Amino acid sequence: RLAPRDRLPGLPNRALIESLLDTSIERARRHGRRFAVLCLDLSRFKLITDTLGHHAGDLLLQEVASRIVVTVRASDTVGRIGTDDFAVILDEVSEAKEAEIAAQRILAAFDEPVLLMGTEHYVGASIGIALFPDHADSAQELIRSADTALYAAKRAGGKRHAFFRKELADQAHRHLALDRDLRAALARGEFQLHYQPKVSLIDQSLEGFEALLRWDKPGFGMISPGEFIPVAEDTGFIVPLGDWVLDEACRQLREWIDRGLEPVPVAVNISPRHLRQRSAEDFRRIIDRHRLSPDLVELEITEGAVMQDMDHALSVLAALKAMGIRVAVDDFGTGHSSLSYLKRLPVTTLKIDRSFVNGVPSEREDNGIVSTIIAMADMLGLDVVAEGVEKQEQANFLRHHNCTLVQGWLTGRPVPAGQAADLLAVRLRRTA
């Protein structure tokens, strides 16, 4: 009787939950009734055990379990089906709305912080819901469906619930298949980097490159990052892929230097998940491997990447800055960063998002936003780059407002490494 119970909070484990589900399925079938399965996951469990240790993790799980137990009805079953994954069987649910209310009540129990080792910790929870017989008709499939819904709730930002929908399962399958293709593509060397020039409007000189990832998929041609980066971010493949991008950009820079070309800084995009899982030393090690001066490398991050895990991001950025590695805020203006937070952010450059540059100079609002960002960057002592400059009028407006660094089709499209080397060679001749 003890074995199927979880050692820690004394809850049914996965195997027991599955057999209890079998019983619920039988009963619901006999009476033509409905019931719900909820899967719950904590957003900060790993972070807490990593920083406070496993004992704190155990205490946290106990607290979570008792908060769930007191929130649901006595007839409901609470179990633990993974490290920080809980399942709840709501046996008397006649419609979806009731399961939703129960989920909201459980989530509300996590609005209060948990006291651990004398300090308060907010442990956000997310919940996925599957209904019998609407979404699945076996124990395992019910849990899988609730898990798929949980995944969607987390992707939508967490601290919320989501119901299972067939599209979610289809999407999960597509993501898995694409993830497999991406991993194989990396092993087969199908990825390459293109380089888009950053150009000075004062004398048209080449001031840097941004490395942009391309997938040369046999039989499909060049696939742009918008089609696979979000999935790679989702599945976690972005971490090895992002490491490859930085390594490849550094390898290319080293090759250019060894050929006698005078290099310019190369910017590499770092996705939120990649930033969360790496330290400044990890990035530094890749750059050092190619014996490059750190100021030849710039990392581009979005505001969202910083906001997701502010403490970690701030410490990584500060360490990068101390190492002399440049950091740019990409797509600036599209996130939700406040001025006070921008002031604290140890970055070197702001990149004005293309969506604002697009409207210049015909849209009054965009003119205002762009000129304000330029003035703000100036005030904070940051460099500013305008993205997506396609027309001469846009360049004129930017120059007039003292933004002299641009990246866009007007001054150069992303090109393969060979053509990028030609641009470096031209530069060498001009300065000679």
Toward Mg ion, which CB reaches closer, 308 or 355? 355
Work out how close the CB of 177 gets to ligand C2E at its nearest, in angstroms, rounded to a whole number.
21
CA torsion, points 25, 28, 30, 33, in degrees to nearest 10?
-150
* Residues contacting 54, CB < 8 A, separation 6+: none
Binding track, positions 113-142, relative to Mg ion; x by CB under 5 A = ------------------------------
By the 8 A CB rule, do 70 and 62 touch? no
Q: Which of ligand C2E, Mg ion, none does residue 49 bind to, with CB < 5 to 8 Å depending on kind?
A: none
Q: Which of Mg ion, ligand C2E, none does residue 24 bind to, with CB < 5 to 8 Å depending on kind?
A: none
Ramachandran angles phi, psi of 300, nearest 5°: -105, 125
Task: Name the residue with tokens 């950025």.
Answer: 317
Helices (H), 345-412: 354-359, 364-379, 392-400
Neighbours of 91 (CB within 10 A): 17
Q: Which two tokens stand for residue 102?
A: 């129960």
Work out how close the CB of 191 gets to ligand C2E at its nearest, in angstroms, rounded to a whole number.
9
Q: Which of Mg ion, ligand C2E, none does residue 412 bind to, with CB < 5 to 8 Å depending on kind?
A: none
Which secondary structure element, helix H or strand E, spans residue 200, and what is its range? strand 191-200
Toward Mg ion, which CB reaches closer, 35 or 195? 195
Toward ligand C2E, which CB reaches closer, 42 or 245? 245
**Can you tell me which of 48, 64, 106, 245 binds ligand C2E, judged by CB under 6 A?**
245
* Residues contacting 427, CB < 8 A, separation 6+: 205, 206, 262, 264
Toward Mg ion, which CB reaches closer, 269 or 394? 269
Binding track, positions 377-396, relative to Mg ion; x by CB under 5 A = ----------x---------
**Can you tell me which of 139, 385, 388, 417 binds ligand C2E, judged by CB under 6 A?**
388
Residue 226 binds ligand C2E, judged by CB under 6 A: yes
Q: 207: helix, coil or strand?
A: strand
Residue 412 binds ligand C2E, judged by CB under 6 A: no
Q: Which of Mg ion, ligand C2E, none does residue 225 bind to, with CB < 5 to 8 Å depending on kind?
A: ligand C2E
Tell which positions 39-78 bind ligand C2E, by CB under 6 A: none
Residue 224 binds ligand C2E, judged by CB under 6 A: yes
Tell which positions 296-355 bind ligand C2E, by CB under 6 A: 300, 330-331, 354
Toward ligand C2E, which CB reaches closer, 126 or 196? 196
**Can you tell me which of 52, 390, 415, 425 binds ligand C2E, judged by CB under 6 A?**
390
CA pair distance 176, 227, nearest whole angstrom: 14
- Kindly report each contact of residues 376-382 with a partner whose C-beta sits within 8 Å and lies 24 or more positions away, as own/partner: 376/339, 376/342, 376/350, 377/350, 378/402, 380/342, 380/343, 382/347, 382/348, 382/349, 382/350
Burial of 344 (0-12, 13-18, 19+ CB in 10 A): exposed
Q: Which two tokens stand for residue 46?
A: 């790993």
Work out how close the CB of 200 gets to ligand C2E at its nearest, in angstroms, rounded to a whole number.
16
Residue 331 binds Mg ion, judged by CB under 5 A: yes
Which neighbouring-strand residues pair with 39?
87, 128
Residue 79 binds ligand C2E, judged by CB under 6 A: no
Work out how close the CB of 387 gets to Mg ion at its nearest, in angstroms, rounded to a whole number.
5
Work out how close the CB of 329 gets to Mg ion at its nearest, in angstroms, rounded to a whole number.
9
Residue 269 binds Mg ion, judged by CB under 5 A: yes
Toward ligand C2E, which CB reaches closer, 148 or 196? 196
Task: Name the residue with tokens 């305008």.
Answer: 386
Residue 229 binds ligand C2E, judged by CB under 6 A: yes
CA torsion, points 78, 82, 83, 86, in degrees to nearest 10?
-30
CA pair distance 405, 210, nearest whole angstrom: 13
Residues forming contacts to ligand C2E in the complex (CB under 6 A) are 196, 212-213, 224-226, 229, 242, 245, 269, 271, 300, 330-331, 354, 387-390, 407-409, 414
Interacting residues toward Mg ion by CB under 5 A: 269, 300, 330-331, 387
